[in-house]
Amino acid sequence: MRRTKIICTLGPSSAEYGILLEIVRAGMDVARINFSHGDPAFYHHAVRLVRRVSQELKKPVAILADLQGIKIRIGEVEQGAVELEKGSSVVVLPGEGVTTAQKLYIRYEPLLEDLKVGDDILLDDGLIKLKVQEKFADRLHATVLEGGVLRSRKGVHFPRTNTSARTFTEKDQRDLEMAVHLGVDYVALSFVRDGEDIARVRSWARERGFRLPPLIAKIERKEALHAAEEIAQEADGLMVARGDLGVEAPIEMVPVYQKMLVKLAKERGKIAIIATQMLESMRESSSPTRAEVTDIANAVLDGADALMLSAETAIGKYPVLATQMMHTVVEATERHLASRIPSFYRPRGILPEAIVFGALQTACNVNARALVVFTHSGFTALVLSSFRPGMPILALTPEEETAHQLALVWGVLPEVLDVPEEAESITLLRRAEEILLGRKLARPGDPVVFVASSPFLGYRNLIRLHRLGEPFTEEGIPPGTPAPEPTG
């Protein structure tokens, strides 16, 4: 069983029923919808498509809405492309003008306030590099240090500058409102600078009465690295967005930051995602490079909850093969190097942790084949996953939304429990046993541990050891007994 989850980005290559069906069968756990591209019609289509495929395959699939954020770009370029020659001088201006070899227009209003003499301007993912030589009230004069052909709407980075513009743009606000109404399971915030960026989004949603899904902060700016602790505190997860991060920060430091950010997220029991160029060559090739395979394996060993495919499945030629390859490499890494997958979790002394830890100790002592979590919100399953147990975690919930969200969590197999709320506890446990056997997670005679830390169908704070196939007894679980009120 693969523990590390796979996120696939939807696009022209994958947002079609038959192809998406094969991608989910190949191993996709989460569908990413990139709000930097497409339109409302595509977003509605993508959500409906994922839910349809998920229902048909009876596999919970999460939907991650990735907001664009304040992506700084140039506008249109004269005749579509222009060559900036090394050593040449360029006038840099804010606004929507047409860029030429002599004048560069950047769509960023605070440009003149933020940049100073000596700052670098990187264009097209750092392929073209300029340095500011002079600053005037209405323009900058820069020299081209690394030249190249510049095309319309390419991205711009200021690696030595703390930009003043906040990440949550008007477009993001419109897109977030749409994403909430569409019922997505997670929202990723792009170009986050600090914890305040996350808090502002939550405040904005509260003022409008929106119930936000969990928020994933994308770490791709230099400022975010310095504020990583407070971002991890405010967000529900971190995404290591290696593409823009490798432009903003020294590229040789990206592997170091990746390990640091995954560790930070997991110490706090938050979700950790690694993204960008994991199988980049498979946009055009039917097989990956050896370096890409090694990159995937190292990401698994870093302890990430999920790995993300972007262009590989959105616009690549081989979206199904890329997903299959990711699944195969992850599964092989986990099978042979499971003992090297770390748990960085730092317990906070809360009740669910005590229940979970007790269940884990019991499971280890009897060499249990599986852990079964009964959960409404998914929190107990998330805590259990953070300890990185060596056996599968079957999470049973009456909430479809919770099942979808748990599809992103390491080691968790979510399933919507088809038992009515008024059912007796023994009925619930028998159904859990049927699911374990049906999914071949365990065999008759195997020990399993049941756990619940919040009121669930009649009881709370449950740890129960059971050997599959043996009769359940009423001992300790009187049928229909209401959950006791909390004390203290």
C-beta separation of 374 from 456 below 8 A: yes
5-69+167-337 classified as CATH 3.40.1190.20:
no
78-157 classified as CATH 2.40.33.10:
yes
Q: Encoding tokens for residue 300?
A: 């698994």
Q: Terminus-to-terminus CA distance in the chain, angstroms?
A: 41
List 218, 221, 222, 259, catalytic entry: 218
pTM of the entire predicted model: 0.91
Residue 330: name the closest of 354, 313, 308 by CA: 308
Res 428: pLDDT: 84
Beta strands in 128-189 (DSSP E): 128-135, 140-146, 148-151, 156-157, 186-189
Query: Is 480 buried (19+), middle (13-18) or exposed (0-12) by CB count in 10 A?
Result: exposed
C-beta separation of 225 from 249 below 8 A: yes
| Long-range CB contact pairs, 252-261, < 8 A, 24+ | 255/298, 257/219, 257/225, 258/299, 258/302, 259/302, 260/228, 261/219, 261/228
- Strand, coil or helix: what is 305? coil
Q: Encoding tokens for residue 100?
A: 């030429």
Give catalytic status of residue 59 as yes or no: no
Give catalytic status of residue 160 as yes or no: no
Domain with CATH 2.40.33.10 in the chain: 78-157
Give 7's contacts (C-beta < 8 A, 6+ positions apart): 28, 29, 30, 31, 32, 64, 273, 275, 306, 307, 308, 309, 408
List 48, 52, 73, 153, catalytic entry: 73
| Domain 351-467: which CATH number of 3.40.1380.20, 3.40.50.300, 3.40.50.2300, 1.10.10.10 | 3.40.1380.20
Res 482: pLDDT: 40
Domain with CATH 3.40.1380.20 in the chain: 351-467
Residue 53: name the closest of 86, 26, 83, 21 by CA: 21
Res 167: pLDDT: 84
Give catalytic status of residue 32 as yes or no: yes
List 2, 3, 5, 32, catalytic entry: 32
Which ranges constitute the DSSP H helices of 338-474? 351-365, 379-386, 400-406, 425-438
Averages of pLDDT over each 10 residues, the chain, 488 residues: 97 98 99 95 98 98 97 92 97 96 96 96 94 97 97 90 87 97 98 96 96 98 95 98 92 97 96 98 98 98 98 98 99 93 87 88 95 94 94 95 98 90 76 94 95 69 90 56 38
Q: What is the DSSP letter of 99?
A: B
Q: Which residues pair with 413 in a beta bridge?
A: 394
Res 460: pLDDT: 67
Res 419: pLDDT: 75
List 9, 99, 161, 276, catalytic entry: 276
Give catalytic status of residue 276 as yes or no: yes
